[in-house]
Amino acid sequence: MLLFVVIWVLILIARATKKRFYKKNVKAQAAIETMMILAIAMIGLTIFVGIVWTQINDQFIFQQQQIGSEAIRTLANEVDDAYFLGFGSTKEVIIVLPDLIDFEKSVMENRTFILNVNGTDLIASTKVDIRGEWPDNSGTYVFTLTSFGDFVAVSVNLLSFDPTQINESLNQGTTKEVTLDITNIQPNSKNYNFSIDFSNLNVSITSVEEGLISFNANDVNSIDLVITCELNSAGKYYGALVFEGDVNVTYPVNINCLSGQTKLVMLPRDLNVSLASGATTTEKFLLCNNSIIDLTNISAQVTGAIKSNAFARAPSSITANTCSDLNVFFNGLTTDTNLSGALTVTTSGLSESSSLFLRYLAVVESGVCNFYNYANTAPIANYNLSSFVKQNDQNNWVATGELDWNLESRNDTTSGGWGELVNDFNIRPENLVGLWHLNGDANDSSGNGNHGTFDDNNYSNGLWNKQAGQFDGINDDVTFNINPTYESNSRGTISLWAMTPNIGGGVFSYGSNGNTDNWLLLNYVSTGEFRFHIRDGSTNDDYYKTTNNVFSDNKWHHFVVTNDGIIRIYVDGKLEPTTTTSDGGGGADGDWFEDIASQASLAGIGFLNRDTSSSTYFTGNIDEVAIWDTALNPEEIKLLYEEQKGQ
């Protein structure tokens, strides 16, 4: 621009000079004309250079935006890969950040990378929430991606850890010390605020170094951690070490608390089978591998007098920290006698045994049975059994659950009667805070007095030939008042059986009855999946965890939701794959009764108390609703399902 002005001034001077000397000096006139030609040429050259410079600059901007697009696209793909590899997986990826970045307008949040290059937002999406910050300058960086189940942490590799992650196994009731060496790989000193993100009642991680830690350039600091597995801990627990500084760094921690009794567990410990002559049956044992290695080459053998009438089939392998079924096949005795023996399982130097008993079952004809006095082998009575025995699909006679001599003593058993599972809630009974069998009433059988009211008092066929709550999807519900025992629960388990042909509707709810208040809900969503939903804040501050599979198939399903700092959903004894979504910061993974107690006013079964519209009511049957104040482990959940479904 300045050059253009100078040239234009020269032209004006030249024109003035021409008028002044035109008549006096012909040579001067020629010189002036030459100057004008040169000025015009310089103007053309300036315009040409400007056009070329603009094109070069536009090309540079385009190139930097292409580099930025490739950077966020690569990061998004690698984040998704780390997420699908599972909790604790870590990846490192080299990323080139272009010039012209406005870092104040560049963010990584929710499921989106945004990189602002020369005023243009470049965007890439992920399949999981991301947490992290962009560095302050352009250049080449090593980004560390760490999966935490429901999100992936993205950080610039400013600290180096040895080991790269903590993955420790220790027995219940023991403590272990671990040293972590951390290197500041930056060329200048840095300060970080160190904290431990590991909220769990059964496992603790402590360190005297928590707080401000100063690193010199290329300096190494050591942190001593004390890991403790409590006596009631069993299973895997996850957390993180967090270093907050110019760029936040998150370090994964995986703790596996091994079962204190044995690495191989077989349940039940004793099995009694009664069969008529010629009858057969298959009984299932639960074989649990509590070790940190997969078990293979499993052998199952029946020994003792019973071995001629029973044989076992073991699973080919059991993955670490999981359980599997073991089938034992029985043939009925031909004579009135009893046999005993043992089932022994061996694998990888481990051994476990259970006792077996096979009894002869007299055939019942036309519902009449002779009772014998075995002292003199003479019949003492004819008793009509038609009210409490029946033939199953294999034509074997089984108890209906209506044994008349138990009718008057139903309350003597934990479950309230023979027809319901006698040992159904012997799993951590000391931790039960609510238990509703819905067997003709909505009373609480846990002993905590949380009795409910079933407004329409409708019951139908439930599990084990007993009753279950029947809900019409219009206005049926069971409600009960909030007990202080719930309000202090920060961890726990909710278990129930449900059957529905419809989609949508609430199964269990706790909290306030306002649509903008706090609540904890279990419900079927409008597409048939099962969902855990909690709101700990204002409107749209919701946290959801939804099963990937549909269960509105008009069949009984066992649903268990546990919280040990992480919400997990089990269906029919197995951990169910889920999808997590969140509408805001109010609800979060790990929230439970305690987090919404301030607004809790009502709890209920068969509807969502946040809303009394018909769409929130449940259509179908619900049975055996139970709440514990501790998180059941996978082995206990599998055992609960197997015992209940078999009744």
645 Cβ neighbours under 8 A, 6+ residues apart: 463, 556, 558, 572
In this prediction, what percent of the chain has a pLDDT beyond 90?
A: 16
Residues 434 and 296 both lie in one domain: no
Confidence (pTM)? 0.40
Q: How confident is the model at residue 2 (pLDDT cuts 50, 70, 90)?
A: low
Look at residue 380 and tell me whether its pLDDT is greater than 50. no
- Give the tens place of pLDDT for each residue, 60-79: 889 999 999 999 999 999 99
Q: Which of 361, 396, 415 is the last residue before a domain boundary?
A: 361
Question: pLDDT category, 485, cuts 50, 70, 90?
Answer: low
Provide the pLDDT confidence category of residue 114 given band limits of 50, 70 and 90: very high
**Domain assignment present for 74:** no
pLDDT tens by residue, 78-93:
999 888 887 777 788 8
List all residues 6 or more positions away from 646 whose beta carbon is below 8 Å from its beta carbon.
284
Domain co-membership, 305 together with 429: no
Quick check: is 133 in a domain? no
Q: Say which CATH number the domain at 536 has.
A: 2.60.120.200
Domain containing residue 189: CATH number:
2.60.40.2310
Out of 219-228, 472-481, 532-541, 612-621, give the one with best mean pLDDT.
Answer: 219-228
Please indicate, yes or no, if residue 368 is contained in any of the structural domains. no
Whether residue 201 sits in one domain with residue 298: no
* pLDDT value at residue 328: 92
Instruction: Grade residue 604 by pLDDT with cuts at 50, 70 and 90.
Output: confident
Q: Is residue 249 part of a domain?
A: yes
Q: Which amino acid appears at position 386 of this protein?
A: S
pLDDT attached to residue 211: 92
Write down the pLDDT at residue 269.
Answer: 80
Residue/partner pairs of 410-413 with CB below 8 Å, 24 or more apart: none
Distance CA 308, CA 298 (A): 21
pLDDT at 9: 60
In a domain, 562, yes or no: yes
Cis bond leading into 135, ω under 30°? no
**How sure is the predictor about 595, in pLDDT bands with cuts at 50, 70 and 90?**
low
Cα separation values, 8 from 2, 20, 157, Å: 10, 19, 57
Domain end call among 338, 361, 384: 361
Q: Is the per-residue pLDDT at 303 higher than 90?
A: yes
Identify whether residues 339 and 434 lie together within a single domain. no
Mean pLDDT confidence for 502-521: 73
Residue 268 and residue 250 in one domain: no
Residue 113: its pLDDT value, please?
A: 94
Q: In what order do the strands lie in the sheet with 203-206?
A: 159-162, 174-184, 220-229, 203-206
pLDDT given for residue 369 in this prediction: 42
> Tell me, what's the pLDDT at 405?
31
Q: Answer yes or no: do 562 and 523 share one domain.
A: yes
Q: How far is 324 from 507, CA to CA, in rounded Å?
A: 29
Determine contact, residues 335/313, Cβ cutoff 8 Å.
no
7 pLDDT more than 70: no
pLDDT band at residue 125 using 50, 70 and 90 as cut-offs: very high
What stretches of 400-472 adopt beta strand conformation (E)?
432-436, 453-454, 459-461, 467-472
Q: Which domain holds residue 304?
A: 264-361
Residue 609 pLDDT:
66
DSSP state string for 575-613: EPPEEEEESSSSS-TT--HHHHGGG--EEEESS-TT--S
Residues 429 and 466 in one domain: yes
Among 180-189, 209-218, 440-449, 505-514, the minimum mean pLDDT is found in 505-514
Are residues 543 and 478 both part of a single domain? yes
Residue 175 has pLDDT above 90, yes or no: no
Residue 644: pLDDT band by 50, 70, 90 thresholds? Answer: confident
CA distance 576 to 234: 19
Given a cut of 70, whether residue 390 has pLDDT beyond it is: no
Position 583 confidence tier, pLDDT thresholds 50, 70, 90: low
* Residue 445 DSSP code: T
CB 493 within 8 A of CB 457: no
For residues 232 and 273, membership in a common domain is answered with no
Whether residues 610 and 537 share a domain: the answer is: yes
The count of domains in the chain is: 3
- Which of 235, 258, 281 terminates a domain? The answer is 258
- Residue 19, SS3 per DSSP: helix
- The neighbouring-strand residues paired with 271 are 356
Residue pair 551/558 in contact by the 8 Å Cβ criterion: no
- With 60 as the cut, is the pLDDT of residue 588 above it? yes
Least confident of 80-89, 137-146, 408-417: 408-417
Which of 133-142, 579-588, 626-635 is the most confident on average? 626-635
pLDDT, position 515: 54
CB 210 within 8 A of CB 234: no
3-class DSSP assignment, residue 614: helix
Crossing angle, helix 26-85 and helix 2-21, to 10 degrees?
Answer: 170
Q: How far is CA 359 from the centre of its chain?
A: 44
The two tokens of residue 149 are: 């189940």
Q: Looking at the predicted structure, is the pLDDT value of residue 292 above 80? A: no
For 44-58, 278-292, 301-315, 388-402, which range has the lowest pLDDT when averaged over its residues? 388-402
Residue 376 located in a structural domain:
no
Q: What is the pLDDT of residues 332-375, one digit of tens each?
A: 888 888 899 999 999 877 888 999 999 887 754 444 444 433 33
**Average confidence (pLDDT) over 633-637:** 87
- C-alpha 410: how far from chain center: 38
Q: Report pLDDT for 584.
A: 58
Residue 56 belongs to some domain of the structure: no
Identify whether residues 355 and 430 lie together within a single domain. Answer: no
Q: What is the pLDDT of residues 508-517, one digit of tens each?
A: 888 766 555 6
Averaged confidence pLDDT in the chain:
77
222 domain residue, yes or no: yes
Q: What is the mean pLDDT of residues 237-256?
A: 85
Tell me the three state secondary structure of residue 330.
Answer: strand
pLDDT above 70: residue 587 = no
Residue 554 has pLDDT above 80, yes or no: yes
Residues 447 and 571 occupy one common structural domain: yes
Per-residue confidence at 411, pLDDT binned at 50, 70, 90? very low
